Amino acid sequence: MEKSPYTGVRRFVLINMILVPFIPFLLALGIGNHSFSRSIENSTIASMKRIAGDHRQMIESFLLERQNDLELIINTSSFTELVRPERLSSIFLQLQRITSAFVDLGIFDDTGVHVAYHGPYDLSGKLYRDTPWFQQTLKNGIYISDVFLGYRNIPHFIIAVAKKENERTWIIRATVDSQRFDNMVRQIRIGKTGEAYLLNRSGVLQTDRRSGGNLMESPREKIPLPRNGREIHTFIHREGREEPFLYATTWLKDQNWVLVIRQEKTDAFMALREARMSILFISLVGGGCIVAAAFTLTGAIVRKMEKTDAEKALLSQQLIGASRLAELGEMAAGFAHEINNPLQIISTELSLIRVLQSEMIESGQLTPGEPHEQVTDSIDQIKLQIDRCSRITASILKFGRQGESRSENLDLTVVIPEIIQMVQKKAEVHGVRMECRLPDTPVRVTADASRLQQVLLNLLNNALDAIIEQRGSTGGIIGLDLSTGENGTATIDVSDNGTGITPENMEKIFAPFFTTKPVGKGTGLGLSVCFGIVQQMGGKMEVTSTVGKGTTFSIVLPA
Amino acid sequence: MEKLKMMLVDDEERFLSTTQKLLERKDFDVQTASSGAEALEKLRTKPVHVVILDVKMPGMDGVSTLREIKRNFPMVEVIMLTGHATVESAIEGLKSGAVDYLMKPANLEDIVAKAMDAFNRRVDIEEKIRVARMRGLMKSPREMLKNA
């Protein structure tokens, strides 16, 4: 295939066969990838938001319940009741039964004096008038602090509720176990790296964080706090060279704490990565298939083209060969004819020389002897060579010129038996049975009798050869069937049970000079001449054959 | 027996002269003509028994010359002389009344043999005609008597 004229075609077909399917293929994959990524991103972010919302709800309701606990106490008991230590103790125990979140319980009067206390530390009598939480509680009626260490030096936060009673305001304050609250906030788990924590307004951690960072520390990364409101904000933040995280942030109800839910981006978008891997896999496999198919098909197309072109070249060569043969025939015929005239003269001159020679001997002008015999020998030789030339021209003329055809109205039922008669003897010698099946009524066609004879003799002789090659001298059958078709056409089928023709030879049997016979045995012209004759008669010649079973030639002649 | 008179018609002068010489040595009376027209002209003045006629000649070709000869001189026997390529015209000649044909290059012996055959045929026919005429003559007195 190298350097063949098909290189260009090959490249063109190959490029097109790769590019044309590749463009829609890549487009489909690209669009699929894009919308799939979008959808996964959206659903990941949406689920992040939902988790943040649910978690916020849970934390808020925890805080609200604790607040409600305190409000229940403050509304069902009076100040005087609660300052009694045994009463306060019993209320605290009741409270502990509902939830173990509370660590202690204290009552403050409007001057900030810690009038009653129940808990592990003795804090009664301390003055809190100037502390910010006390001021805030008086002002707002409710206060939830940030986490702080306080006198106790352990992290905790407080919930305080104020009540106006008989023109006096008093406050109940409870400390919430920071550890328990911590666990509740952190209990959330998303994927491998998902976590939740709380920050206060200054960005200080209000809970421990699983990925590092303890309570009351400021985390290294500085994430933007959300705008005030209930909205949940999602964004991707990357601190330095660390893994980027997907964040969801939102304020809790009292706007003091920010709930942060975050997950490593790669973890959050794991599904996306998996999808992308499969898309990559599909595009590699699909692309490979396209390229492989393109190569295979291009190869097949180019091979087919090469085969067709080669056949075309062979056919045109054969056509040129045939027309050259015709020209050669014409030329040879003319040439032979022209040679015959001088040969005739030489021949008569020679006769004259002979006559003169014998006359000279008779008259004694020439004496018989050695030189005379040599002359006679020369003359004989000339005679011999003239005859040889004459044989050559005769054979040239026989081959070259077929003469003009003479169409006449023939009755095939009469002509065919005559032709069969000619090969009957040869067939009998080889033990071949001739089966001739003719209709009872005359079958008339317009054809040249001698040419039709030439065609049929050729076919019959071929059939005999095929039978002899296949079966020797036993069991050969040649069938000759005559039938009539539409528009008065006549069909002659010559069938034999000889060797048959291989499919590859089938295409070439009518080509001039094609023969399967050994060199010198066949000219390869017989069938091509027959084909030409039948075509000239306006008929058709077809062949069907099975190797080892036999061959049938069909000639269809017009009326 | 009457001496065989023949005429050679061919466009090759040398063939004519040499063949004439050879045939005359064999004691035949030979005339030559180098074209169909000349042959017809000569036949008018010197009748012959057998004409050896080349099929392929310039001017009037062999077959037309044959037809003319047969039309004007039906008793003259014609032998066609042909190159192979013109076998078909030889056949056409036979159909048009030629008695035989010869293939070029033809041996003198063949020419003589065929000419003799043709001549004998002619003699036969003439003999038959003569016999027929004699019978006619013998019959005629009786018929004359009858008619009288």
Task: Encode pLDDT of A266-283 as tens digits.
Answer: 888 888 888 889 889 998
Q: Looking at chain B, which residue has its C-alpha nearest residue A388? A: B105
Cα–Cα distance between B60 and A124 in angstroms, integer? Answer: 164
Same domain, A38 and A70: yes
Cross-chain Cβ contact B22/A386 below 8 Å: no
Q: Is A405 on the interface with B (CB under 8 A)?
A: no
Q: Is the pLDDT of residue A36 over 90?
A: no
In chain B, which residues have their Cβ closer than 8 Å to the Cβ of A393?
84
Q: Tell me the pLDDT band of A1, cut-offs 50, 70 and 90.
A: very low
Does residue A148 sit in helix, strand or coil?
A: strand
Total residues found in chain A within this entry:
559
Same domain, A218 and A319: no
Does residue A449 sit in helix, strand or coil?
A: helix
10 Å CB burial of residue B62 (0-12, 13-18, 19+) is buried
Cross-chain Cβ contact B85/A401 below 8 Å: yes
ipTM > 0.90? no
Residue with tokens 């032998």: B79
Same domain, A171 and A194: yes
Q: Looking at chain B, which residue has its C-alpha nearest residue A331? A: B85
- Write the single-letter amino acid at A225: L
CA dihedral A226, A230, A235, A238 (to 10 degrees): 40
Cα–Cα distance between A428 and A198 in angstroms, integer? Answer: 117
Q: Is B95 on the interface with A (CB under 8 A)?
A: no
User: At which of A378, A400, A422 does a domain end?
Assistant: A400
In chain B, which residues have their Cβ closer than 8 Å to the Cβ of A401?
85
Same domain, A453 and A322: no
Same domain, A315 and A451: no
Q: Is the pLDDT of residue A304 over 50?
A: yes
Q: Is residue B135 part of a domain?
A: no
Cα–Cα distance between B28 and B116 in angstroms, integer? Answer: 10
Helical packing angle, A270-362 and A370-400, nearest 10°: 140
**C-alpha closest to that of A137 among A65, A93, A71, A181:** A71
Say if residues A445 and A490 touch (Cβ distance below 8 Å): yes
Task: Encode pLDDT of A129-181 as tens digits.
Answer: 888 888 888 888 888 888 887 666 778 888 999 988 777 888 998 988 888 88
Q: What is the pLDDT of residue A328?
A: 65
Same domain, A438 and A425: yes
Task: Encode pLDDT of A331-381 as tens digits.
Answer: 777 777 788 888 989 998 998 898 888 888 888 887 878 888 888 899 999
Same domain, A285 and A225: no
Mutate to test the interface with A, among B13, B17, B18 (most CBs of A within 10 A): B18
Does residue A542 sit in helix, strand or coil?
A: strand
Q: Is residue B51 part of a domain?
A: yes
What pTM did the predictor assign? 0.47
Q: Is residue B115 part of a domain?
A: yes
Q: Looking at chain A, which residue has its C-alpha nearest residue B10? A: A341
Domain count, chain A: 3
Angstroms from A406 CA to nearest CA on chain B: 11
**Interface A:B, Cβ pairs < 8 A:** 62
**Is the dihedral angle over the CA atoms B19, B21, B26, B30 positive or is it negative?**
positive
CATH of the domain at B99: 3.40.50.2300
Q: Is residue B133 part of a domain?
A: no
* Domain span including residue A194: 1-268
The tokens for A375 are: 């002359």
Q: Is residue B88 part of a domain?
A: yes
Cross-chain Cβ contact A344/B85 below 8 Å: no
Mutate to test the interface with A, among B15, B30, B87, B112 (most CBs of A within 10 A): B15
Same domain, A527 and A425: yes
Cα–Cα distance between B93 and B54 in angstroms, integer? Answer: 11
Same domain, A345 and A415: no
Cross-chain Cβ contact A349/B18 below 8 Å: yes
Angstroms from B97 CA to nearest CA on chain A: 21
Q: Is the pLDDT of residue A211 over 90?
A: no
Residue with tokens 């009463």: A87
Task: Encode pLDDT of B81-97 as tens digits.
Answer: 887 655 677 778 888 88
* Domain span including residue B51: 5-122
Between A137-151, A172-186, A254-268, A394-408, the lowest mean confidence (pLDDT) is in A394-408
Domain count, chain B: 1
Q: Looking at chain B, which residue has its C-alpha nearest residue A351? A: B108
User: At which of A400, A419, A442 does a domain end?
Assistant: A400
Which of B:17-76 have CB within 8 Å of A?
18-19, 21-22, 25, 56
H or E segment to which residue A136 belongs? helix A132-140
